[in-house]
Structure 1
Amino acid sequence: MVNKYLGRDLKKEGLQVCKRCIYDETISNISFDEYGICNYCKLVEDLSLQYGTGTDSGKSKFDTIVEEIKKSGKGKKYDVAVGVSGGTDSSYMLYLAKKYGLRPLAVHYDNTWNTAIATENIRKVTSKLEVDLYTHVCDNKESDDIFLSFFKASVPEIDGPTDIALAEVMYRAAAKYNIKYVFEGHSFIAEGVSPLSKAYVDGGYIKSVHKKFGKLKMKTFPNMTFWKFLYWTVFKRIRKIRPLWYLQYSKEDARAFLENEFDWVYYGGHHLENRMTAFHHSYYTPNKFQLDQRNNSLSASVRSGKMSREEALKEYASKPILEDSLLDYFKERMGLSDQDFIEIMNRPPKTYKDFKTYKHKFERWKPLFKILANKNLVPMSFYLKYCNKSEMA
């Protein structure tokens, strides 16, 4: 298999497409109302109403949270931990924390695949804002062994371990400094919602895949077990807040601000600040699974009026941005010959359902996680995606 993916022309494919965004009938658990609007657009509407996104109500809710954070941080060195990647949202999140008078600790998980641009962006923003940086670096051979395990397993979530590791590192940093609040830079307005069929990962899934395909012991990789997750949320009561679920936010405006204020540099596209993430989104899932996750952000841009539906469909039909040397870099780091790479890419696709995960536990513990989500002890997106059997969000 070579890079055959050239984008999806939904009009030519003759699929039913949402009249408001560009989600089509192949999306997991999608449904359309009598007006042709999909249930994911309805979900975004419901979340906007619940959080008051971009309204005075949303700002008031966030102001109240900020005051709670300040009270919790009295007598401590830091008020809040902020995850940073060098990307737009997390960089702006760090600035936002300072703007609101908070004392943030920047937290970064280095999976050893950062681009030089991302690393420099982190340095620029933390330096100018005079924010301390807490970094956990995974051993590069160990990190690569985990990525290679997911690649050999033929599952879509090759970069999923990074998400779990970052979450665990955020909790560890917060616990170390007795911080009770964590900021995450996600915006469902700017990034949309990701159906479960496109993205599932938990610590049990990582252990299961790595046990079957990995060769090295996980010593420096910060995995999160089910019970560790409960420890951080129920017993340590570390709250996860997503400010951009409350506030008015434009990724384009944020990017322009960062470039002007911090000499921050754009890395070329959504998810491209890390080379493994770029391989995941721009090559691996489109070519092997016919999953092009650009429709999340493109649909979000259409819903928010940043882009017309026709413009989004046209971009979705174009080839994803792929760094010229990225495939060679991936194969070299993974120790794969061209033949090995092609053979693995041609293996039948599998999903998280083919491995042991915590999904059924999350479903059984749904009442608890609903309470935790309402108290901001776990993200509402986690509850919607992982705890419901409908696998909707």
Structure 2
Amino acid sequence: MTLGYDLDPTRRVCTRCIYDDRVPMISFDAAGVCNYCRQLDGLVEDYNTGRPEGAAEFERLLDEIKAAGRGKKYDCIIGVSGGTDSSYLVHKAVTDWGLRPLAVHYDNTWNSAIATQNIAKVLLPLNVDLYTHVVNNEEADDIFLSFFRASVAEIEGSTDLALRETMYRAAWQYKVRYVMEGSSFVTEGITPVGRNYFDGKYISSIHKMFGTMSASSYPLMTFNRFLFWTIVARIKNIRPFWYLDYNKEDARALLEREYGWQYYGGHHLENRMTAFYHSVYMPQKFESDLRNNTLSALVRNGKMDRAEAWAKYNEPPHIEEELVTYFQKRLGLSENEYASIMAEPPKSWHEFPTYKQRFERMRPVFKVLADANLVPRSFYLKYCFPTKTEG
């Protein structure tokens, strides 16, 4: 029996990817394959990802979207960040699928110049309109600082939730019933929820405890608003790359060739707060390196050898020059205060108020909503089942 210790004698490592025993709530079967690989296998079966049946189901959804959008200025909403996936999704929606999308962006005021330029480079030639919600930078920074002071991992959670709320608001304003996202579980996996949890109550609770000002410009998604968008407004969430054969490297090459789009150096590094989160905050404070998501996906897809991926994973992450200095300056932190907070013991989202127990109690409801594409399947899998409290 293969036990999965071949890459590192001190760690149990999945025999199929490079997730190891430090990943929250991981388990291994008799073949040494982790539960997250098996979860992705189940999603491939559910969505027929990359198969003719998956393409046929997506064609049916396209017909549904076009029919619902007849007579309207836009027939779908696409969230954009300037990254590979969302940029390529806009390209496909217009050039291949004949859709009329409205691009939606939540600007947390930490965008890199490359990301801002990439959005314009793709949208302008395709004649796609852009709807942007720009949060007050002082309010956004106060939320980020409150999470940093709380010593919890989800310093970027406010951005992810705000983008979803902004997309729903745009959909409601323009009477659009379909929101499209460029995520791909094949190329990214599904990040374990252990140190990657966020909801409206969690964000407002942390900000109330550790913040110093109100956040009236921040688009907070409360529990009631979430239910309104999904049950009353019935805005559907579609992720095309969950159905289709998607190759991120080919997508990037097309964007560079057709639009002069520029790569920003790594997954999720198009935003400077996100870059800090991935390359500094998680590895240094939580000893958690989320590069294993992308590297494991490359291994599962046969695009990288396990040994090579494990070696890359064990190299120090690339840290953008002056990134820590920029973070300190933006948030008004002295070097001593920054070092003191980074040295504090990490805390978990379990220790603060959240909607998690509500999501778990309503699991049957959210299962129905996920089956109808009214909530993301990843939300149902990650948020609606009990999790082990970290010791």
Q: Which residue is equivalent to 2:196? A: 199
Task: Describe the superposition over 1:274-310 as per-residue Cα deviations: whole angstroms up to 9, x where unpaired.
Answer: 0000000000010000010000111011001111111
CA contact (8 A) 1:73 1:79 kept: yes
The corresponding residue for 1:360 is: 357
Hey, what does 1:127 align to over in structure 2? 124
For structure 1, the residue ranges without an aligned partner over 5 or more in a row are 1-8
Q: How does 1:231-380 map to 2 (within 5 A)?
A: 231-380=228-377
CA distance in 2, matches of 1:109, 1:286: 26
The structural deviation recorded for 1:198 is 2.7
Amino acid paired to 1:40: Y
What root-mean-square deviation, in Å, do the aligned CA atoms of Structure 1 and Structure 2 show?
1.3
Instruction: Report how far residue 391 of structure 1 moved.
Output: 6.6
- 2-structure distance, mates of 1:222, 1:183: 19
Query: Helix, strand or coil for the counterpart of 1:71?
Result: helix
- Any idea what SS the aligned residue of 1:182 has? strand
1:112 is matched with 109
State which of 381, 384, 389 in structure 2 corresponds to 1:387.
384
Q: Which amino acid aligns with 2:190?
A: V
Q: TM-score, normalised by structure 2?
A: 0.97
C-alpha contact (below 8 Å) 2:17/2:297 kept by paired residues: yes
1:88 equivalent to 2:88? Answer no
SS of equivalent to 2:266: coil
Q: Which has the higher contact order (CA 8 A, sep 6+)?
A: 1
Against the structure 1 CA distance between its residues 112 and 239, is the aligned structure 2 distance closer, same or farther, given a 3 Å change threshold?
Answer: same
SS of corresponding position for 1:331? helix
Distance (Å, rounded) in 2 between the aligned partners of 1:68 and 1:308: 40
Q: Distance in 1 between matches of 2:237 and 2:8?
A: 42
| Separation in structure 2 between the aligned mates of residue 355 and residue 302 of structure 1, nearest angstrom | 36
- How many Å apart are 1:208 and its aligned residue? 0.4
Contact 1:195 1:391 in 2 (8 A): no
Equivalent residue, structure 2, for 1:4: none
Aligned twin of 2:93:
97
Q: Secondary structure of 2:168's partner?
A: helix
Q: C-alpha offsets along residues 353-381 of structure 1, whole Å, 9 cap, x if unaligned?
A: 11100000101111110000000000000
Give 3-state SS (helix, strand or coil) of 2:225's partner. helix
Deviation at 1:13, TM superposition (A): 6.2
Cα deviation for residue 240 of structure 1 reads: 0.4
Selected match of 2:51 from 34, 51, 55: 55
Out of 14, 34, 37, the position equivalent to 2:33 is 37
Asked whether the 8 Å contact 1:10–1:313 carries over to 2, the reply is: no
The answer (yes or no) to whether the contact 2:195–2:348 under 8 Å persists in 1 is no
Question: What's the % identity of the aligned pairs?
Answer: 57
Q: Give ranges in structure 2 of 5+ residues lacking alignment.
A: none
Contact 1:369/1:378 (CA < 8 Å) preserved in 2?
yes
Cα separation, 2, equivalents of 1:148 and 1:10: 41
Structure 1 residue 176 and structure 2 residue 176: aligned?
A: no
What number of residue pairs does the alignment pair up?
384
Runs ≥4 in structure 1, deviation > 4 angstroms? Answer: 9-13
For the residue of structure 1 that corresponds to 2:102, the secondary structure is strand
**Separation in 1, partners of 2:347, 2:91:** 40
